[in-house]
Structure 1
């Protein structure tokens, strides 16, 4: 039943991620422009250059802030990552059945004597 739930959650996350690819690309482009404008703003010495790069940076910051659906896409990508990670996780259960009734007693006695 756990695998079915993971499958449904992963499917929903994949659909949300695919529907928000456009805003995520827009967010990446606007953040790249913002980074470039900040670097140029810090390097330039002229006042006019600083004003121009500041205006470009503010416009890029506004474009980045308007891409709120991209945040939903990022959350969906993270949920999909967690689902895939949990899907691949295997349960390691060691079941040792022995016909000797004293096997578990001896193991527990050895653990008690360690401490």
Structure 2
């Protein structure tokens, strides 16, 4: 039953992630442009250059803000990562118990000590 829940959560997260790929790319590009414009704004010496970079920075900031739904895509990617991690965690615990040759021996020894 746990695997079914993980599968459903992973499927929903995958659909949300795929549907937000466009805004995620737009957010990455506009954030990179905003970063470079900000760096150039700090390097600029003249007032005219600072005003120009300020206007470009404002336009890049608006483009970044318009891609805000990409945050949902990032959250869906994180949920998908958690589902993947939990899916492998539950199967690895069983495998570790099967690999230990003394697990059954220790249980039987504890039973013998109690009697």
TM-score by length of 2: 0.82
Q: 1 CA distance for matches of 2:41 and 2:63?
A: 18
Instruction: Indicate the residue corresponding to 1:46 in structure 2.
Output: 46
Matched, 1:101 2:103: no
Q: 2 CA distance for matches of 1:52 and 1:24?
A: 27
Which residues in structure 2 correspond to 1:77-96 (within 5 Å)?
Answer: 77-89=77-89, 90-91=92-93, 94=97, 96=104
Q: CA deviation at 1:49?
A: 0.6
Q: 2 CA distance for matches of 1:13 and 1:26?
A: 20
TM-score by length of 1: 0.82
> How many residues were matched structurally?
104
For residue 45 of structure 1, give the secondary structure of its aligned residue in structure 2: coil
Instruction: Indicate the residue corresponding to 2:100 in structure 1.
Output: none
After superposing on structure 2, the runs of 4+ consecutive aligned residues of structure 1 that deviate more than 6 Å are none
Q: 2 CA distance for matches of 1:32 and 1:100?
A: 62
Q: 2 CA distance for matches of 1:63 and 1:100?
A: 66
Q: 1 CA distance for matches of 2:69 and 2:109?
A: 61
The unaligned stretches of length 5 or more in structure 1 are 106-115
